[in-house]
Amino acid sequence: MSGPDSDDERSDDSGEPRRHDPSGAPSDGTGEPARGPESANDGRPRNGAGTDHKDEGSIVRHSSSDSKGDDVSIEDDGIVRWFFGTDDESVVLVRDILSSVAIVAVIGLLLFGISGVWPPLVAVESGSMEPNMEVGDLIFVVADDRFVGDDSTGDTGVVTHEDGEDHEKFGKAGDVVVFEPNGQAHQTPVIHRAHFWVEEGENWVDTRAEPEYVDGASCDQLQTCPAAHDGFITKGDANPYYDQYQRGGANTDVVQPGWITGKASFRVPWLGYVRLTFDSILGGMLAPQPSLETLAGTVGTEKPVSSAGAVGASVGAAGVAAAGTGAAMAAGRRRRR
């Protein structure tokens, strides 16, 4: 008589045989083999394909959150939120342009706050102040009542070459001023050094002037002498004569304080060529200016400008017209004759 098959039956402590569970899975006491996590009947697939499907769904949800700019709409979010949140290429381009303009505007306002004049930057287009200013330099200009040095003339805030031994600007004593020749706002402003101050009726040629700067002429040979009004005698550093001499660079009468639109503070080499190049390409449309010939002989052929009607204008509209093209383009042209 053979004993029970070890593969079919086994005996427990009570001596009663029990059948072997082929699955080998432990019983949980219910008579059914315990199910593993991979076979739990919870309604969720546990095979590899199901797991991949779950991961794919997760990836889709993340992708949707990353492209939320495509989900904004005017109806749901309002036009402002849509404008700043959409990924539409046309709107993005407009946002970039507006951002650039805003940056230029902020820079312009900051420079204006410091300088007190507009535009605060001017481009040099001739060589009458060489070597202290070169063609293509960009000059930062301030109001004449700012950064005033010692020994300034009256309440003008301008220190002359004659009085500015301890006040050097651009390689020589005295302030370099920007002014409108004969107080005419339509003329191209000039940037020259203020040499000395004269009083109305003063014979400045015989008493104050350097003879070589008037070519040895006497007062009665100049229509600007005696002085028709108080003001400054000016000269370009590279020019042989005063501006108030008939053959002088700017061909202007004695420069009244009201004709002065600013003082040169410092220069940035080459950057002014940006402004000059744009104006050349556009044919002067940014800020139409007269030619040199238009100004020639103004004092020599006409009576001096009266002391009445002094013009106190800003440097010009050139910087306003060009502000959208960049900080450098917020610069007016300045001709040094």
Among 26-30, 119-123, 126-130, 255-259, top mean pLDDT goes to: 255-259
Give me the pLDDT at residue 175, please: 96
Q: Looking at the domain assignment, is residue 260 inside a domain?
A: yes
pLDDT at 185 over 60: yes
Q: Looking at the domain assignment, is residue 203 inside a domain?
A: yes
Q: Looking at the domain assignment, is residue 36 inside a domain?
A: no
Mean pLDDT for 208-229 is 94
Among 44-48, 214-218, 280-284, top mean pLDDT goes to: 214-218
Q: Looking at the domain assignment, is residue 265 inside a domain?
A: yes
Phi, psi for 102 (deg, rounded to 5): -65, -40
Greater model confidence, 75 or 273: 273
Give me the pLDDT at residue 283, please: 59
- 35 confidence band (pLDDT: 50, 70, 90): low
Q: Looking at the domain assignment, is residue 91 inside a domain?
A: no
28 to each of 33, 35, 38, 103, 312, how far by Cα in Å?
A: 6, 9, 17, 74, 103
Q: Looking at the domain assignment, is residue 196 inside a domain?
A: yes
Tally of domains in the chain: 1
Give me the pLDDT at residue 257, please: 96
Mean pLDDT for 259-287 is 80
Give me the pLDDT at residue 118, please: 84
Q: Which of 83, 140, 78, 90 is nearest to 271 (CA)?
A: 140
Q: Looking at the domain assignment, is residue 59 inside a domain?
A: no
Greater model confidence, 334 or 210: 210
CB 238 within 8 A of CB 127: yes
Give me the pLDDT at residue 335, please: 47
pLDDT at 263 over 70: yes
Number of helices followed by number of strands (H, E) in the chain? 9, 11
Give the Cα separation of 313 and 282 in Å (integer).
25
- 310 confidence band (pLDDT: 50, 70, 90): very low
Mean pLDDT of the residues in the chain: 73
Greater model confidence, 187 or 32: 187
pLDDT at 303 over 90: no
Q: Looking at the domain assignment, is residue 35 inside a domain?
A: no
Among 137-141, 277-281, 300-304, top mean pLDDT goes to: 137-141
* Percentage of the residues of the chain whose pLDDT score is greater than 90: 37
Mean pLDDT for 250-277 is 91
Mean pLDDT for 324-332 is 39
- Residues spanned by the domain of 174: 116-334
* Percentage of the residues of the chain whose pLDDT score is greater than 70: 63
Give the Cα separation of 271 and 259 in Å (integer).
26
Give me the pLDDT at residue 167, please: 93
Conformation bin of residue 333: beta by default, left when phi > 0, alpha when psi is -120 to 50: beta
Mean pLDDT for 38-51 is 47
Mean pLDDT for 151-164 is 93
